[in-house]
Amino acid sequence: MDKLTPLSVFENYSRDWDGFSIAEITGVELVSLSVAGGHEKEFAKAMKTALGCALPAPGTVVPAGEGLVMWTAPGQYLAMIPGGNDRADEELAAAIGATGYAVLQSDGWGILQISGDKIFDVLERFVPLNLRNCADNFAARTSAHHMAVICVRLLDGAWLLLTPRTSAAGFLESLEHVTDNVIG
């Protein structure tokens, strides 16, 4: 079989404005993790062994080696693992065994990193959350212009915006439009 090449959701998009930048993040795997009913403690222990971190509390993200794990709903988490290992879900499934479930989500999401000193000027017009005063390890599912988005605040002050691949083109167009209106 020929080696398949993954397609970038945003075609390696990158753009800079005065005080604001958007760049697509590629080369990471997203794995959805969920706890099997009644196995919360065993799942948490297995995840700590597999990823080297405790599970994040609601509305937060925690570093996990070179990647991160975010809380997405009660008993549900999303791991972002760098390196392009398309077997990450299988490895995590083996590590957690019958305590939970791991499903590869990488092809279903696009990831943009935004940075710069005008982040909050743009975000307050794009996302219906007050993000100016949130903690450095903040993560939340919400919407932006009626499209799903997960917002993650990184320790360096940058943000990740994860959006479903199916609406990625419209999401990026809306983000550019808001940025052009705010920054010019």
pLDDT in tens, 77-86: 999 999 878 8
**Residue 116 scores a pLDDT above 60:** yes
CA distance 29 to 18: 31
Instruction: Please choose, from the candidates 135, 140, 165, the residue with its C-alpha nearest in 3D space to the C-alpha of residue 150.
Output: 140
pTM for this prediction: 0.94
**Residue 1 scores a pLDDT above 60:** no
55, 127, 153, 172 from 17: Cα distances, Å: 36, 19, 20, 15
Name the β-bridge partners of 152.
Answer: 139, 160
CB 77 within 8 A of CB 69: yes
pLDDT per position as a tens digit, 33-65: 999 999 999 999 999 999 999 999 999 999 998
CB 131 within 8 A of CB 151: yes
Task: Give the single-character DSSP code of 19.
Answer: T
Q: Sorting pLDDT into bands at 50, 70 and 90, what band is 7?
A: confident
Give me the pLDDT at residue 6, please. 74
Domains and CATH numbers, the chain: 14-25+108-183 (3.30.1360.120), 28-107 (3.30.70.1520)
pLDDT per position as a tens digit, 95-111: 999 999 999 999 999 99
